[in-house]
Structure 1
């Protein structure tokens, strides 16, 4: 029952954020929201791809919890919201992922991210290999 309450709370929080910032994000069946701001022209990653990205991660209140100008990582090693969301991007593309807590760290605190938090990432997909 608690998981459903988190999902509902996160869904409302994401919808409010989208409305406030006038985004045109798409929703997936899992509850992930994404918006491609700049369409890339290269390959799209699959769940086992090595990717190079630049990103800024923050909460809906604007608090930044992580950023990186050039991260090289295998997509299988990240939160499920990224595994699901990154294939919507193409190399050179930029966009936003709005990730409910059940596709991130759940109800558990993770570093400076409070449990149950919606995570927002501004992402630039630099390359896929």
Structure 2
């Protein structure tokens, strides 16, 4: 077996620089294309909050007002509990960037909202605009524990149930 060597001409320093510049331009164009093709939410901090941000598995308590492009209010609430994982993707993404006590303006493109389906007063392919205040948030485990405590208190107020502290003892069977 024989190998034939093919002589290569040396590359000039100017040609090498052109190669690197071309590669950098190609990477920049590819990155710009990737970012322009991916829908993104608009996120503006009106008043900064403090502390950590909620995670996708947390439950938040928010004050919000939702509007369409023409300014029509489609929903609002003074204290709405929400599971971060169970709202539209754009709202979920925004919630995980907020901090307790903060106020935010967010815009959700249709691809990260309801897309091409109409939901209640929201027409298909609508951009959603929200003013949101993150009042508080808790982990899912904390919320379950709070719900259990409230159920126990209600049972005790209603006369209790067997096995619950403070409830009357069951009558002995004969």
TM-score of the pair, normalised by structure 2:
0.56
Aligned pair 1:126/2:127, yes or no? no
Equivalent position SS for 1:88: coil
Q: Name the structure with the higher helix share.
A: 2
Partner of residue 104 from structure 2, selected from 91, 95, 104: 95
Partner of residue 121 from structure 2, selected from 104, 108, 112: 112
Q: 2:100·2:137 contact (CA, 8 Å) conserved in 1?
A: yes
RMSD between superposed Cα atoms in Å = 1.4
- Structure 1: gaps of 5 or more residues: 1-28
Q: 1:93·1:125 contact (CA, 8 Å) conserved in 2?
A: yes
- Structure 2: gaps of 5 or more residues: 1-37, 139-174
Q: Which has the higher contact order (CA 8 A, sep 6+)?
A: 1
Q: Distance in 2 between matches of 1:76 and 1:128?
A: 13
Q: 1:34·1:97 contact (CA, 8 Å) conserved in 2?
A: yes
Query: Deviation of residue 42 (structure 1)?
Result: 2.8
Query: Deviation of residue 71 (structure 1)?
Result: 0.4
Equivalent position SS for 2:50: coil
Which position in structure 2 is the counterpart of 1:22? Answer: none
Question: How many residue pairs were aligned?
Answer: 102
Post-superposition Cα deviations, 1:98-123, rounded to whole Å, max 9, x if no partner, equal 00011010010100100000000100
Partner of residue 53 from structure 1, selected from 49, 62, 77: 62
Q: 2:66·2:130 contact (CA, 8 Å) conserved in 1?
A: yes
Q: Distance in 2 between matches of 1:123 and 1:42?
A: 17
Which position in structure 2 is the counterpart of 1:20? Answer: none
Which position in structure 1 is the counterpart of 2:34? Answer: none
